[in-house]
Chains A and B, each alone.
Chain A
Amino acid sequence: MGSVNFAEEGMTFVLSCLKEYGGQTCMLGFFLAGFLYVLLCGSRKERYFFCGITGFLAVTIYNPLLANPVIKFMNMSAEYYRFFWILPMGFLTAWMCVKMAETQKTKGKKAALICLLFVILAAAGNPVISTFADLQVPQNKYKVPDGLLAVCEIIHQDSGDNAFPKSVFEYEYNTYVRQYDGNMRLTLDRDVYLLALGSNTVSTRNLSQEEVDAQRRIIDVIQYQNVSEDPSVLTAALKATQTDYLVISKSSEPVLAYLTAAGCESFADTGSHIIFRGP
């Protein structure tokens, strides 16, 4: 878990993960309340389903004495939270709501209680979107920016017989482009880019230090607009990575000029981006 460090937390790691998992919602509290209710008043089947399974997990995978060595051996501190998916937290809360609603005998009172429970669940939770503006109709059926479609088309038209051109994109397009176009090779590895952006949950896997350094030089220019070094440094990095094209936002004016100085030739303008041929 990004914000919970296994080495630092030690025996409290599991509890810290559970708190992070519950986040800013009251789901943990509802789950515990439901657990206690079932334990005291539930049928045998309900006690098996909600309490028996939870109890088993509590003494095994959620038990720090057992869990910590397993986490360490499997190197899964970043993925440990996924064990909480086994707990039917949302389902138990919903089950409790049904039990409460069923205590009302008249339809009117039942409907009123159901509405109240809906409000409580909403108020005690954290919505998946903060405002309706966060949910926008995608620009196209691929759910990628329209500009990306245009960029890919232009590059493939220009690349001729080269069916797999290699390109540099800024972060957003770099993440999207191969999902849309499997023929587009990329200079910048996702994890090298994420590391450059400050991530601590990825690694560079089997890439050599030279490959990582060349990519970092390019990211330094296009992401951080670091144009203080001699353009020949960027030229060398682009040649070492065998980059065919670069796609840069028109708003990055210092970068555009720097790329030209590095020997890149701009040949297309999509309105939002300039496409360069590599040196």
Chain B
Amino acid sequence: MTELIVAGIIFVFLFFIMFCLGNFVRLFEKKEKYSIGCRIVSGFVFYFFLFEIIAFPVMIARQPLHRLTMIWGSVIAFLVLAACVKFGKSWWEEWKARKLRGYSAGFYLMLFLIGLQCVFAALWTDNSPDAAYYVANVSANVATDTINIYEPFTGAMQETFYTRYLFGLYPVHNSVVCQLTGVHPLVLTKTLMSVAAIVLSYTVWAQVGKKLFDKREQVWMLLSFLSVIQFFFHTIYSNASFLLTRGYEGKALLANVILPFILYLGLCLFENIKNRSAWLLLFATTVAGVDISMSAMSIVPVAASAACLVAIIGKRSWKSLIYYGICMVPSVLILAVYLLTSKGYLTFHI
């Protein structure tokens, strides 16, 4: 029970960290108003963008897990402190200025349906073969204090880093959190992060909804309908299935948080093609997406291209192609390294 309570505290703290990091987005586009939800999702992207940049070289250098844990813990502590110092006053002013307004039945229905999904994910027991990689990877890293050195399936020491998951360090992130907090990998992945995936997903869709609808009531209704659809769009391949039954996998976050967030950024660019924070977030998403799931290596650039190019063509803003090109650079580099590694031209030995 204590461990579940600790997991609950970690859940709240993770969202607070994301909120803090997301506030830095405001520095790049002061004219925009950023809701709490928008800041949380932006912070989520920055969080994994930073993690990939820090964790990948630490892994390749074959450093022990505790070293990465110390580095990551220090970086996050510094950034959270910096956010509190920089934005603390504005948070207090926002809190004082908030309007106390009642919520309708639609709002509570939405909360109930999302809550139902969270309970479902928390109780759902999944033993798919993929869990034997993703979760076992977390356990193996924590048990041996190493980073992707031991094969998750059997525990044998690998000769090279597994190409298929080379940049996909989401399990390593979970290992770091387990080592920092003492929470068991299974509790973190199959309960905490599964529920977090659902909350993040609806936070993103709420932001999209606010762009398409004028009234809050319509957004609550939208999320209620979406909740029902998520329960009944089960096809083992669908994003809904991954969200509810395989939320511990990075793919669930990719399908239900990252990709919808890219579409949201596309909407932001359609409204204002020169929105610097949107371009910056898009750049960060191309890296964060791969950190969360290697499938993002090909899917994220396609989604980003669809969102950006259609907006650029719609706005006839041809100079923005430069920003689009810059956003694609990480994807091209990652894809190049992956292809060179998978074809045997490049090897990362352990």
Instruction: Please report the C-alpha to C-alpha distance between residue A191 and residue B205 in the assembled complex, in whole angstroms.
Output: 37
Whether B267 contacts A49 by the Cβ 8 Å rule is: yes
Query: What A residues does B223 contact at CB under 8 A?
Result: 94
Instruction: Please report the C-alpha to C-alpha distance between residue A126 and residue B129 in the assembled complex, in whole angstroms.
Output: 23
A144: interface (CB < 8 Å): yes
A256: interface (CB < 8 Å): no
Query: What B residues does A210 contact at CB under 8 A?
Result: none
A230: interface (CB < 8 Å): no
A270: interface (CB < 8 Å): no
Give the shortest distance, in Å, between A237 (CB) and chain B (any CB): 15
Query: What B residues does A74 contact at CB under 8 A?
Result: 298
Name the residue of chain B whose CB is nearest to the CB of A25.
B233
Whether B155 contacts A180 by the Cβ 8 Å rule is: no
Give the shortest distance, in Å, between A28 (CB) and chain B (any CB): 10
The interface residues of chain B, by DSSP majority, are classed as: helix
Q: Which of A20, A95, A142 contacts B187 (CB 8 A)?
A: A142
A178/B235 contact (C-beta < 8 A), A60-B302, A91-B226, A94-B225 known: no
B309: interface (CB < 8 Å): yes
Query: What A residues does B233 contact at CB under 8 A?
Result: 25, 27, 89-90, 125-126
The residue in A21, A56, A124 that gathers the most chain B C-beta atoms within 10 A of its C-beta is: A56
Query: What A residues does B139 contact at CB under 8 A?
Result: 178-182
Name the residue of chain B whose CB is nearest to the CB of A75.
B342
Name the residue of chain A whose CB is nearest to the CB of B335.
A74
Give the shortest distance, in Å, between B204 (CB) and chain A (any CB): 10
Whether B251 contacts A86 by the Cβ 8 Å rule is: no
A146: interface (CB < 8 Å): no
Q: Which of A60, A85, A174 contacts B255 (CB 8 A)?
A: A85
Whether B228 contacts A122 by the Cβ 8 Å rule is: yes
Interfacial residues of chain A within 89-109, with CB under 8 A of chain B in the complex: 89-91, 93-95, 97-98, 101-102
Whether A135 contacts B120 by the Cβ 8 Å rule is: yes
Q: Which of A121, A172, A185, A194 contacts B155 (CB 8 A)?
A: A185
Whether B241 contacts A86 by the Cβ 8 Å rule is: no
B266: interface (CB < 8 Å): yes
Whether B222 contacts A95 by the Cβ 8 Å rule is: yes
A15: interface (CB < 8 Å): no
Whether A127 contacts B239 by the Cβ 8 Å rule is: no
5 nearest A-B residue pairs (beta carbon): A125-B232, A182-B143, A23-B235, A182-B139, A185-B155
A residues engaging B (CB < 8 A)?
Answer: 1, 20-25, 27, 44-46, 48-49, 52-53, 55-57, 60-61, 74, 76, 79, 81-86, 88-91, 93-95, 97-98, 101-102, 114, 117-118, 121-122, 124-128, 135-138, 141-144, 164, 166, 172, 174-176, 178-191, 194, 202, 206
CB-defined A-B contacts under 8 Å, sample of 20:
A22-B235, A23-B236, A25-B233, A27-B229, A45-B211, A49-B270, A57-B302, A86-B299, A86-B303, A89-B233, A101-B221, A121-B229, A125-B229, A135-B124, A142-B187, A174-B132, A178-B155, A189-B153, A190-B132, A190-B153
